[in-house]
Chain A
Amino acid sequence: MIRPFGWNEFELILFAVRWTIVLAVMAFVGGGIGGLIVALLRTSDSRVLRVATIAFIRVFQGTPLLMQLFLAYFGMTILGFSVNPLVAAMVALTAHASAYLGEIWRGCIEAVPSGQSEAATALGLRYFNRMRCVVLPQAARIAVPPTVGFLVQLLKETSLASIIGFVELTRQAQIIDSVTFRPFLVFSIVAAIYFAMCWPLSLAARRLERKFAQATAR
């Protein structure tokens, strides 16, 4: 029952990247929006909002992504909601990434000296403009390395979505491995493909950092 590993098998693995990319983009976009909201709520003046956000972060940082995916899909179905796996993955990945990015960005916002915020207030800037024009641009500069580090990790974590039926890169490789029995070859290819996706991200981050450094160099 063995099949040789040929071009066709290679193509199947390469093609499975589309799900990895879809999942990663969903997680990046959802997590980016959710993370910004979490970071802002977490640094807000209202105690209620802060506590609620901390609870959200604790729950989603403290439970494995695999469980979140599993519960979002099978759990919801049992509760009587029919969820499509794509929606379940989007919900779980967004919540997961929001919790982590929120905390990363909270740290970056708090790293901006409070004098900046106070000076902006003294100039008559309200919350929205204070954040948009003064605090967030400075925080963004600090945020690049940890954010990219997390995104690269998240891209690889999308392989967990195979538990709810996505045949993405890693799962496809397992399936191909089960008929070709060439694990070293199969998983080396997979590692190379992940690397080819992660490395450009890291490169882009380096460039962004350099740009920021130039912009603020004295």
Chain B
Amino acid sequence: MPSILKKGAALFLGLGLMAGLTTMAAQAADALQAIKSKGTVKIGMLVDFPPYGLMNEQNKPDGYDADVAKALAEEMGVKLQLVPVTGPNRIPYLLSGQVDLLVASLGITPARAKKVDFSEPYAAITIGVYGKDDVKISKPEELAGKTIAVARASTQDTAVTKVAPKSTNIRRFDSDAAALQALISGQVPLLGCSNVCYVTIQKLAPGKYNKKFELSSQVQGVAVKPGEKDLLAWVNQFIDKAKSDGKLDKINQKWLGEPMPAILKKSSQ
């Protein structure tokens, strides 16, 4: 009941805060040094976005993002404090200084790049429209008059909203899990989600759903507060190293069961 309001309100407020924050960017010149002298790096990550971020059986943050964060803290030589954040509040957490970095499956988009500074991509997800086998569509125009579920405020929400014709009924849910449940329980015939999510669908209901078309290839970056150039440069150097020494490949194998995708291999800068 209150959650539509809840997330909408949080986003709205978040954006308001960000506008005020850009002025604070200048003071953040030696963020890297500050973290090192504190001896602890606070990294925000999602815990409801498996396999990137989840809570394991011991109720500790775990997943792809957690492993990247661990490697990062180790490389920096400081202790790691993982801070669980949610989709709508992750950027406010970063901008208000509650965390130093976000390794929170934050897809790199131009809109977000105005609010935070992104590193080179450290993970990639392809987003597509999936649905029941008997729904015959193959391009965005054919979404007209159809109902499609997405997780609110996610990259797939933005992507679907952008390409869908006006008559499409987009139903937004709190999380991928809830959107996926809507698909599987038959409330909606179509779902906008990632390749990762599709792996789950195949496990829950093998052979009943297929991919209709791809919306985008989304790369995710580590986010830092705007203007923290030295920290960003250090993170980029860390990611380059993790890509070349096979660490990132290992993390991909562990959590996604695939080698590191090609799109990550070429450096974006």
Residues of A in contact with B (beta carbons under 8 Å apart)? 1-3, 8, 12, 64, 66-67, 70-71, 74-75, 77-78, 160, 162-165, 167, 174-179, 181, 183
Contacts and interface: CB of A to CB of B under 8 A. Distances in A.
A162 B86 contact: yes
B48 A178 contact: yes
Contacts of B200: 1-2, 181
A68 to B, nearest CB: 11
Contacts, number: 93
Nearest to A181: B177
Interface string B154-193: 0000000000000000000011111011000000000000
B67 to A, nearest CB: 14
Contacts of A8: 57
Interface stretch (B28-36, B89-97, B104-112, B238-246): B89-97
Given A75-B17, A77-B98, A181-B204, A70 B10 contact: yes
A183 B48 CA distance: 13
6 contacts: A2-B203, A3-B57, A66-B6, A74-B92, A167-B84, A178-B47
A162 B54 CA distance: 16
B114 to A, nearest CB: 18
Nearest to B181: A183
Given A64-B9, A74-B14, 15 more contacts: A2-B200, A3-B57, A66-B2, A67-B9, A71-B13, A74-B13, A74-B96, A78-B17, A163-B6, A165-B84, A165-B89, A177-B48, A179-B50, A181-B180, A181-B204
B177 A183 contact: yes
A59 B36 CA distance: 42
B187 to A, nearest CB: 12
B181 A181 contact: yes
Interface string B1-40: 0100110011001100100110010000000000000000
Contacts of B6: 66, 160, 163
A67 B9 CA distance: 7
A12 B55 CA distance: 10
Contacts of B89: 163-165
Given A66-B2, A66-B5, A163 B50 contact: no
Contacts of A183: 177-178, 181
Contacts of B255: 1
B48 A175 contact: yes
Given A64-B5, A165-B84, A1 B51 contact: yes
B268 interface: no
Nearest to A159: B2
B71 interface: no
B13 A70 contact: yes
B124 interface: no
A66 B50 CA distance: 26
B125 interface: no
